[in-house]
Chain A
Amino acid sequence: MPLFPIHRIRALLLLAAAAAACLYAGKEFRKMNAPDTILPGQGVSRIRALKDYFPNLEGTRSDSAVYFLESGRPGPTVLVLGGTHPNEPAGFLAAVALVESLRVKAGRLIVVPQACQSGFTCTDPLEGYPQSYSLRSRSRLRTFRFGSRAANPVEDWPDPIIYRHFPSGQQLSGNETRNLNRAYPGKSDGTTTEKTAFAIMKLIRDEKVNLAFDLHEAAPEIPIINAIVTHEKGRELAAGALLGLELENLPYALELSPPNFHGLSHREWGDGTPAIPFLLETTNPVQGRLRGRTGASLAVDGQDRQYRLAQESGRMRITYDAGGEPLARRVGRHLRAIQAVLETYNELHPEGRVELEGIPSYEEIIRNGVGSLLQ
């Protein structure tokens, strides 16, 4: 019998191929731990972290930078959260754009671009999501991670079969355990995601936030897209903003937060803190079930043949035109909607205004791209 019969050679080759594949996959997975680069602009006065509000987060993958843009002039405190769901890049990039380009002339802004920092360290299994996408900024090519809807599963492995929300006892499917936007008001001795939610609630209370925005995206075929969801406290502000946006040809739907659906920012921030919460939704074809080939270009350009076919057959709730739903349009919508709410707030509260400077108009963002908002 030969020392290396053919079946042994074949087995060794297969083992080597499997090892190479595992090494490559492991290396790619570990690459996701490299943090994204955010370049604070002139408007940033100081940087803190979520651990400053809840020290238990120190050294964990859930700690995240908190950027302060302070005018030194009296006015309301506004919080903007991006990256609650790291697979919704427009919310994250809109927050990064504020950090890198905005100046605050009255009041102050607090921005957390990566609220669920842990979710940026992986993608969702079986979705075929890209790991990253690139944009040309004002000075260079910038690459950002495209993450997962929820925190990394390794944080609290394994997920329970049923997620029981604290403190309501509401039951959801087990994987929602890692969904930051089902975890509020959070729990100091809870799961990683509950601890993150706890820290954000504490930030809102400690910093006396008046208005709070949570930036999201959703699949093109669901009803709640291009929408403002608010607590009953924000009804009038959202209605005013919506009329202003509509005059600029940016139609939005207005939805009220159901009081019996717990764990969401627009419910728990409104119930548990003095802040008036707004959740903004744009349209992200990468999240849709009807989408075709999924890659970085779909995340950035938002062009998908399957969605165009769906539009032609009348199955879409948005106008998915030949331009698709590019990031520029989605980030532009987020930034414009935040401004519209703040403009309505200023109309209703002339004694305590918030004034922002440095955000280009929606048309300019469309014309020059999202990269023009980044350093």
Chain B
Amino acid sequence: MKKTVAHAFVCLFIFLLYPGTSPLPAQAADKLPQPVLISSAGQSADVAIAGMLCKKLSLQAKSQPLAKPADLQGIGTLMVVSGFSTKGLGAAGVSKEQEMERVKALLDAAREKKIRVITLHIGGKARRGGQSDDFNRLAAEASERLIVVRTGDEDQFFSSLAAGKKIPIDLVDKISDAMQPLGKIF
């Protein structure tokens, strides 16, 4: 009897220690490391707003809308701000194709260097559809967490993608509300 009870305790102990098969990646529960590199996918000016959110949260962060793989040196987390802007592309002096190549290279480099990646979509409806969604999909699929302003997910584009890829997603009502999930994960 004593043996059975001991076995039961050992089993319970092992069960409690076992990490299990959570639908979320193990990393998601952790705090994300700093410094943060904020870059764009689509060259919308929303990068500047993400920079302001990080500043308000006193995060160690720098914005480089045109970041390249070499800029990931010493970076803890890559924050991709997705959304297409023709004015932004013009301001950056790049074409849509060049921007797509840059973002792919940056995300590949982050994966190779095991740098954590999150995506912010804060531009709402104006940064959805058409050309924006190519960048939104690319960034979101490479991320371990999504923070999305709800007006950009009225058609469940991000929610469905997150559910399919088992990526945690925070839907917020306003851009400034993104500070809450950001504050939690950093």
Contacts and interface: CB of A to CB of B under 8 A. Distances in A.
Interface in B29-46: 44-46
B147 to A, nearest CB: 15
A260 B48 contact: no
Nearest to B52: A239
B45 A246 contact: no
Interface residues of B, number: 22
15 contacts: A232-B91, A238-B45, A239-B49, A239-B52, A243-B49, A243-B52, A247-B176, A253-B126, A255-B45, A255-B87, A256-B88, A256-B91, A257-B91, A259-B90, A260-B90
Contacts of A259: 90-91, 93
A229 B93 CA distance: 17
Contacts of A246: 174-176
A343 to B, nearest CB: 13
Nearest to A247: B176
Nearest to A243: B176
Contacts, number: 62
Contacts of B124: 251
Contacts of A235: 45, 48
A254 B45 contact: yes
B76 interface: no
A223 B125 CA distance: 10
Contacts of B49: 239, 242-243, 254
A236 B175 CA distance: 15
Interface in B153-176: 174-176
A258 interface: yes
Interface size class on chain A is 20 to 34
A258 B87 CA distance: 5
Interface of A: 223-224, 229, 232, 235-236, 238-240, 242-243, 246-247, 251, 253-261, 317
Contacts of A256: 45, 48, 85, 87-88, 91
A253 B125 CA distance: 10
Interface string B119-150: 00001111000000000000000000000000
A238 B53 CA distance: 13
A317 B125 contact: yes
Secondary structure at the A interface, as helix, strand, loop or mixed, is mixed
A258 B45 contact: no
A243 B51 contact: no
B110 to A, nearest CB: 24
Nearest to B174: A246
Given A236-B51, A239-B48, A247-B176, A258 B90 contact: yes
A259 B93 CA distance: 8
Interface centre among A242, A251, A253 (most CB of B within 10 A): A253
Secondary structure at the B interface, as helix, strand, loop or mixed, is helix
Nearest to A249: B174
B46 to A, nearest CB: 7
B174 A317 contact: no
Nearest to B51: A239
A254 B49 CA distance: 8
A236 B50 CA distance: 10
A236 B91 contact: no
B176 A254 contact: no
User: Which 6 A/B pairs are nearest by Cβ-Cβ distance?
Assistant: A258-B90, A239-B48, A254-B45, A239-B52, A256-B91, A235-B48
B90 A317 contact: no
Interface centre among B44, B49, B93 (most CB of A within 10 A): B49
B85 A255 contact: yes
B45 A260 contact: no
A223 B130 CA distance: 12
Nearest to A230: B45
Contacts of A255: 45, 85, 87-88
Contacts of B91: 232, 256-259
Nearest to B63: A235
Contacts of A260: 90, 93
A254 B48 contact: yes
B55 to A, nearest CB: 9
Contact of A317 (B44, B45, B85, B126): B126
A223 B93 CA distance: 20
Nearest to B178: A243
A317 B49 CA distance: 20
Interface centre among B45, B93, B175 (most CB of A within 10 A): B45
A232 B43 CA distance: 13
A240 B93 contact: no
A255 B90 CA distance: 11
B83 to A, nearest CB: 10
A9 B51 CA distance: 78
B125 A254 contact: no
A44 B13 CA distance: 79
A227 to B, nearest CB: 9
B30 to A, nearest CB: 27
